[in-house]
Amino acid sequence: MSHIELISRSPEETQKLGRRLGQLALPGDVFLLVGDLGVGKTCLTQGIAWGLDINEYALSPSFVLMRELYGRLPLYHIDLYRLDRIEETMDLGLDDYFYGRGVSVVEWAEKALSILPIEHLLIEISYLSDTERRFQIKPSGQRYREIVAELKQFSLT
Residue 105 near residue 33 (C-beta atoms within 8 A): yes
pLDDT band at 124, cuts 50/70/90?
A: very high
Residue 126 near residue 134 (C-beta atoms within 8 A): yes
DSSP secondary structure string for all residues of 128-154: SSSS-EEEEEEEESHHHHHHHHHHTT-
pLDDT band at 64, cuts 50/70/90?
A: low
pLDDT for res 92: 66
Residue extents of the structural domains in the chain: 4-151
pLDDT at 63 over 60: no
pTM of the predicted model over 0.85: yes
> Which option is the CATH number for 4-151: 3.40.50.300, 3.40.250.10, 3.30.420.40, 3.30.565.10?
3.40.50.300
Residue 113 near residue 32 (C-beta atoms within 8 A): yes
pLDDT, tens digit, 9 for 90 and up, residues 72-88: 999 999 888 876 666 66
